[in-house]
Structures are given as C-alpha cells and as structure tokens.
Chain A
Amino acid sequence: MNTTKGEIQPGVDFQEPHTRQDEESLKGFVERILAEAKRQGATAAEVAAGDDIGLSVVVRSGDLETVEFSRDRGFGITVYLGNKKGSSSTTDISDDSIRESVEAAVNIARYTEPDPYSGLADPDRLATEFPDLDLYHPRPMDVDEAKESALIVESSAESVDSRIFKCDSSRIGAASACTAYGNSLGFIHAERESRYNMLADVIAKDSDGMQRDYWYSTSRNAAELDSPTSVGETAANRALKKLDPRPIPTGEYPVLFDRGIASGVIGHLISGLGGRAQYLKSSYLLDSMNKKIATDALTLREHPHLKGALGSRSYDSEGVATTEKPFVEDGVVRNYVLSSYSGRHLDMPTTGNASGVCNLTVEADLQPIEDILKQMGTGLLVQSLMGQGVNIVTGDYSRGAAGYWIVDGEFAHAVDELTIAGKLDDMFMRLVAFGDDVDLRNSIRTGSLLVESMTVAAN
C-alpha cells in the first residue's frame, strides 16, 4: 500500500498490477490498523482493505469516446468495546488517517448500545484453508488494444442490419483487485482477483420508433470473454427483435423469464431467506426453515469453490469459511443466508454468507429453451424488467416488462409497456420449467425460468 508501484502510467496500463508482494504489504497494512485499534482500547476489531486498478475504454462512432483509468484504495474498520460497535472507512491510507479512522470508530462505539449478538465471528468458523480458486488472470492490456476490440464490437453491431441506428457505446473494461481481511482473533488473508468485461449498447430504429438493448460478456480471464463480433451481433439482434412492438390484451398468461434476468427472480427468494429479513420479521418467507416454499422440482445450492467462477470465494467478509450447501432442497428451505450476527440472533450458526451467496446454482431438470417454448404454447417471454416493484415483506411482485409474445411456441412479435404481477410465494410454487441456457455471468447461476401464470397488464 505504501509503494508507489502501480500508479497510473499511460501506455502500460495494466501490466500485472498486483503481485504476491502486494498481498503481503496489504496484509501488513491491515495488521498495522489492527494494532492501532488495540492501542486505542478496542476489545476486538476487524479490518478490510483493498486496492483496485482498472481501465475502461468506450468507443463510439469509430473513435474513442472515453478512456478512464481508475485506482481505488482504502480500508474499513469495525471496532468493538465489549458488545458495542463502531465503524469507519476511508480512502486515505496515510498513518494519520489510520489513527483518525480508528478514533472515529472508537468514538462511535462509545455511543452505540450493547448488542448481545454483535462481535467477530466465532473462531472455529474461520477459514483455515485457502485453495487456489483461479480468480486471478492478469494480462497486459493497454488503451490501443482495448480500443481495437471495442471497434470490432461496434462495427459488428452496426453491420447486422440497416435498421441498426447506432451502436451507442461499446466498452471494454479490465480490473485487478487486491483485497485483505484481518481480525483481532489472528485471522489474516489477502487475495488477488481480476475481471474483464465487454459490452455493446445498441439502438435499432424503424418508422415506429427506437429500441435499445445491450449484451455483455464478463470473465476473470480475458481469454474466455466472448468474441467482440459475437457480443456486438448479439446486442444488435436483441435490439432489432424489440422493434415494432404490438399490443396484447391484459390477462393471465404463462411468463418465461429470460436467462439474462432470471437470476434476479431467484435473488428475491434469497432476499427472503436473508438473516436480517428473518430476525426483523420482514420477510414473506418468515420462519420458513424446513418448510416447503417452492416447487419440488427446485433445488438451490451454492458452490463457493468453483475454479475461476465469478462468485467464488474461500471465506466471507468476516473470514468465515464458505461451504457448499443447499438453501432450498426439493422446494424445502434447508438454510437461511446468515452472517455471524444474524446467526446468533436466530440461534443458528453462521452459514458463511456475510457477503452474500456464492455461485448459487439452480439444480433442476434443465431443458432446452425450444422445448420450454413449446410447453408454454402462448405466453410472454420477458427479456427486460423495469422498476423496483418487489416487496420482500409481503411478497407482492409488480414490475415493468418488455419482451416477446410467443404463440404456439414461436416468436410472434415484440411487446413492451407491460407489467407483470403476482405473489413471490405463488411464483416459486408455480415454476414449471428450467432452461439449460444457464447464465454464468452472475453469482446466481440459472437459465430461463417458466412461471405457469402471472397477471400481465397491457395498454
């Protein structure tokens, strides 16, 4: 952290920015902050520190539109005075800042109230093994190379059809992060990870109006990104397919959530199983442990140790070891999504999910999308959702939607300006098909999901 290596240098933008040595110095930095917390009287403390380096290049109209170099450093500390807790965070990594940040956290902890559930993770839950999860694939990438790829994305999108008005932007991003976590129980570990993105944002236009859609590829390994041609063409074809939307009548129809948005639907169920939602009794899945909350056909299991996956991690944000486990098995709740705090509150052990679920995977009888469309017959294939109309307390679901109208299993025409509405508990009971088109771009891994029936309101 104190080295000047890795400062922004035009030309060599992304040449293995983080080394093993960086992990060691970041751990040293965390230890200094923990020592300062002890010096200032904290009875326990935990620190997370990070150093992220990124490059983002946007091309528009055959030329660079934006080049952005990013460097984010900082740390956050939580101190405990017995059961009282205070936190602070800063982007300033100077020695003065360490002292001031610890002071700020300790000052706050004097005013918060004793909370019997607060504190560090139980020592026996802390991770002791750190397998190589294949998360770091540094590679040199400079502005010119990123620009060349982005230009191919753009030209591929714009050459698909004369109705492509514009590739509004094509973006290449690369990021390298080094993070460390340590606590006063003696746990300390650092990791490096990389991430690469390629995105096309495309506008199609005909006499009826304009439609926008996008597509992206993301990976920890730049070599595993989809080709620029495929990203550009996919985005263009999606935008084209939205042109000329036609009305449908308001009614009850089968609704197929496309792979690109299905993870969000699963995410609502996971929110309902969250520890905080449970102990605050603000979940539509309140007290659902070992109860049936979804169709028998659905199992949701997390696989935190998959090599190279976007959601892989060997420990959570409290240092607790992550483990493979089901949250829902044959439609029955087997685990809540717990941190140490919410676990103690609910009188259960932490599940190692203080930082969310890791590679949560839909395990069901996965079918080809063509078969699912046939099974659906006539209904709505939702490609995009809008708005925040999901209430986890009640399970009420009502969101803006656009996509395709399907008749006899075939694409009929685009539809938009719709809402789809239902109750989350009902939607998960009536999940009747699971696509094999699993989207690996998200920490929730699912293919398309077919809900037997929802209310579709149309203009």
Chain B
Amino acid sequence: MSSLPILSIIIFLPLVGVALLSLINSTTANGERNLKQTALWVVCLNFIVSIAMLINFDQSDPNFQFTESYFWLNSGISYHLGVDGISILLIILTTFLMPFCILASFESIKVSLKEYLIAFLILETLMIGVFCSLDLVLFYLFFEGGLIPMFLIIGIWGGERRVYATFKFFLFTLAGSVFMLLAIIAIYMETGTTNITYLLQFDLAPSLQYIFWLAFFASFAVKIPMWPVHTWLPDAHVEAPTAGSVILAGVLLKMAGYGFIRFSLGIFPIASSYFAPFIFTLSIIAIIYASLVALVQTDMKKLIAYSSVAHMGFVTLGIFTFTLQGIEGAIIQMLSHGIISAALFLCVGVVYDRIHTREIDRYGGLVNRMPLYAFAFMIFIMGSIGLPGTSGFVGEFLVLLSIFSVNTYFAVFATSGVVLAAAYSLWLYRKVIFGSLIKDDLQDILDLSYREIIILFPLAFLTIFFGFYPQPLIDIIEPSTIQLITNIANDVAIAEPASYEPVIKMESEY
C-alpha cells in the first residue's frame, strides 16, 4: 500500500465530489436527487477508502504510517502526511459521520442544496487534512480553512440569529488561532522546520516551550472549547442546521483535542506538565459550570451544546494527566462524544423537522407516538450520561481513573460532573419523551422514517458495542500513546533531573 497515496486520496476525494456537484444542473427535474445521491456516494466511497486504510494499518507500529512527503514551500515546510494510532480513528470518525450529515440534510435543506453539499464536502477535505497533517503550516492551513465553509453553513442555512452566531464563531476561532500561527513561525525560526515528526523528537528550550504552549493553547482552548471562551459554542450550535451541529460537535471540537495531544503534549512536554494544574482547574470549572448551565436551558440544542463543553472538559482532564489511561480515555471520550453528541443533534433534528421548534417545553409525551424515536434517544442520553454499557462510560471512567491517580481533589469535582450530567440529561429526556401527550401539534407526529432509522440505529449500535467491547479501539490507540508518554517522561526527566518524581506513570495494564 505504500505506493498508493491513500491519505491524499481520502483528503481530496471530496473535492472530486465538489467538481462533480458543480457540473450537475440542479434546476432539472431530477437535479436535486442527482445532487443528493452524488454527494452521498462520494462520502460513502470516502468512508470505504478510509476503512481500507484502517485494515491496512499496522496496529503494533507506534510510528506514523502511510506517510507522504512532497516539496511544498521550502525544505523545512513540506506537504507531509501520515497517521498513527492517535489520529487514525479521528479520521474514521470524520468519514463515518459525513454520510449521516448528508442523509440528515435531505429533507431539511430547502434552499441552495447544491452549495450546501459543496460546502460540506469542502469541509470534509479540510477536517481530514487536519488529522493527517505532519507539518505545522499544513495543519494550520486545514485548521483555519475549515472556518470558511462552516461560516457559510451556519450563516446561510442557520436559524434566526445565525449572523450573530456565525460571526462570533468565526472571530472567536480566528482570534485564538492567529497566536498559534505566530508560534508556528517562531518554531520554524527556532528549528528551521515545521515537520512534526522532527519536532516531536526535538527538545525546545523550556522558556520557549512556555510561550509556544500558551499560543497553541489560545487556539485549542477556543476550539475545544474550554471555559471561559466557550460562549461561541452554544450560539453556533443553536443556529447551525442539524448537520452543521453534528459536524461541529462530532469533528470540529475534536480537532482541538487532537491538537492538545499531538502538539501541546508532543512538542511542548515540559510546558504541558508545568501548566497541567491550570488545565485541570479550567476543565473542572468547565465540567461543573457547563453542567449547571445545561440544567436551566430551555432549548434542546443549547442543552446539548453545554453538555459538549462539559464532556470536552473530561477530554482535557484526561490528556493532561500524562497517563496511559488518561490519554486513551480522552481519545475514546472524543470518539464516543463524536458519535453520541452527533446522534443527539440528529435526534433533535428529527423532531425539529416535524415541529420546527427546539423549545423543550413544546414537547412532551413523545413516547406515545414515537416509540422507536424514544428508544434511540434513550440510548444516546444514556451514553451522554456515561452509563456503564455505553461508549460514554469507557472514556469517562478511564479519565476519572487517571485523574484520581494524579490528584484526588480534582477527581472528586470531576466525578460530580457525571452526576450533574445524569441530572440534565434525564431531565431533558423526561420533559421531551415522557409525560402525557397534550400538545395539539404533537397529536399526529410521525415516528422515525426509514431514512432516519438508517441514520440513528448504526450510531446506537456503535454506542453500545464500544461500551461493551472497547478493546479494538484501545488496540489501535495504545502503541502510539505509549510512545508519546514515554517521550514526555524522558523529556520531563531530562529537564528536571533532581526533582523528578514519577508524576508520569507508565502503566500498560489496568
């Protein structure tokens, strides 16, 4: 497989789809159907190609695989791609969610369908590029480029306050990211290259690491998002169309989590361990604060958005424990949140398409008319709570385990977040699904259509499957993670040989 540039194929296949879509005349009788099917086929094909990559992926090799390197800007800044155990599953998550996004938009998008599909395909290219890039400048290119299609998706096909939301989204993210750009340039000046494989081995001076770490942190903290710069997320989620929310929660937030693992931990290990308590504090605040705010929401999407902030708090907690369980837990939490929050937004989309409101008070007693929907919704709510037997449990448990081994106080606060998650999730479920069906416009609401069943049930299956059997994920993640934390441990030990205590624990079994 080494001869075939499979990563480039996965990245640029959606752009081929864009070219095809722009050739289709949407005004003809079958135009809309052709557009939808072309887009769907392209993203499905891309998913199949990415699965082929996963099959050929050597799980025992912790290094980057399927690497490609071409001359780009100069000898230090090249077009360099590759995946390892940390990034490959996030690529699969992206290609996996895209067909659902396209499917979910079939009925709900009434205007400018063609442009909508093109924007999504461009977004897919840019998102996959983020996870594949092994060059900082290339990474930045994909990371920031994603703003353009997302800006248009929220702004054109969004809700009533879409202009406000999309400007907030764009400017918040841009303001965070520009500091990363300066840091990237400074790294280039310092080392003469932006090649990530090289930088992972390179020991930057600690004083520089602190500055660069903060610059990267500014970008990732906005994107993931951490308290107190999370305020764009609820707005963007509420106003975005369903598929936009799915991608936002499912993939875009993961880009920052991935960035923390790959860059903050990998390139600036000393700064990361220095700032870890700071991250813990922010994460704990995020978990508790966002959960409490979620409790008082009246809008379904806003509630799920705040729950995303809380769940991402667990991800950052896990990442900065520097333990194997912590980082593995964070990655599994990201994957699981990618599936579950995407599914929850799709669930909201299902009822929104029917009643055109997201007000929780406007619903009630849906179980009487929509048993299938109630069932699917329940699975995802349970996953969101982190109930044992769902994938949400695996990630949260591993993270809590690792944070407990690092600091008991943080663990206590973090665990209280799980209880709060149960409170707001169950409250949402009770208000929407249970009770008596008294609202007039809900009397003849229809249960899931075949299309919606095709969308929701694979996600439900995966939620439960990985809840019981997460081993396949761990097998893929583990070798690269072990290599990462070994590197960190070495770097930190070199930096502070006298006072070095084994804060960073190596445990391959638990």
> Do A and B assemble together?
no
Residues of chain B touching chain A, judged by Cβ–Cβ distance below 8 Å, are: none
